[in-house]
Structure 1
Amino acid sequence: MSEVDKHLYPYPQSNKDPMKAFNLKSHPEGGYFALTWAMPEGVLSPFASDGEERQMASCIFHLLCHKSPGCPDRPPRDGSMIDASEPDVFRSWSSDVGVFHLNKSHLHHAGRSKYTLVSAKHPLGKGLVDERGKPLTKIVVMGDNLGDGAVRQLLVEGNWWKVSEFHRSTAKRWKRTSRWQPQGRFHL
């Protein structure tokens, strides 16, 4: 790791340390998370059943977890969000890749990750297409290598299909150091 990397992104802990320190729970998109902030004001959500309210905005700490010490193959059965005993071939908690899913609302991302975004077809989204008529696809790398086109932050609008994964340079460093790779998300 270069001196610049150490200064900008110090990761002095192993995977098990932040999982315990932040009381991370399994996330339905893969990996682990903790709610770090939620706006006290609520709003009726078109995505919730029975007219439930949800916070107008919230922040989470999200950890994609490479198979390494401190990162279990499956989350413990603690009653949080998902039944860990349920077989699901599309979800892997100890993985370099999250779960492909449809964003329902706008999300602001910060951290280091690679995102593949696909425009959802009507009626789920705007149905944006490329010059060949295929759904518009964008690949965005977040990180510190701005000279190679990486960005520091990413806003993903609602109604885009999305998957996150480690970028190859981050994955190489991750596998070499067994350190954690946090991502921050701000839900609007």
Structure 2
Amino acid sequence: MIGRLRGVLVSKQPPWLLVEVGGVGYELEAPMSTIYDLPGLGKEVILLTHYAQKEDSVALYGFLQEAERALFRNLQKVSGIGAKIALAVLSGVSTADFARLVHAGDVVALTKIPGIGKKTAERIVVELRDRVDGIAVALPGGASPGMPVDAAGEATVALQQLGYKPAEVARLVQKAAADGDSAEAIIRKALRAALGG
């Protein structure tokens, strides 16, 4: 599986990008939120990727921030949403604004995103309410590509990868994190708290 690419940006034709890595050109689809923040052609770029393989096709999607990739993946877990609609969501609203809309249960605002009808918006609110917390908290806007902003952000991502729910992770990290703590220290304290120690 391809998780990250570092190479030269050769072409930008939204939603398509071409990144050359070691003499190989990778075609990726990316949301507009990523395309807006890309460097100029011929410059180095680091993209987090999502590799998708179906019976009849293979696709690679690129993102500048982990929060975008995480939301892209979570959106596709909602019945009726595929990669195309997930890209439209990311192109139409920031991850933080999306989290706010989901928490507020703002179905009307969600239906303004291309490809999302009322029933799909309602499913998004129900199915993603608990998940968007961790995405928005884990990596606020402005994160370096592929890297959490700070030790707390790094610990949040690590705990989610261990299988903890985003809302629980946000609570654990908030209680465990102290000024000057490394990500490892926060993770240790959060795991002790989660296990009742």
Q: TM-score, normalised by structure 2?
A: 0.27
Q: Which has the higher contact order (CA 8 A, sep 6+)?
A: 1
TM-score by length of 1: 0.28
- Structure number with the higher strand fraction is 1
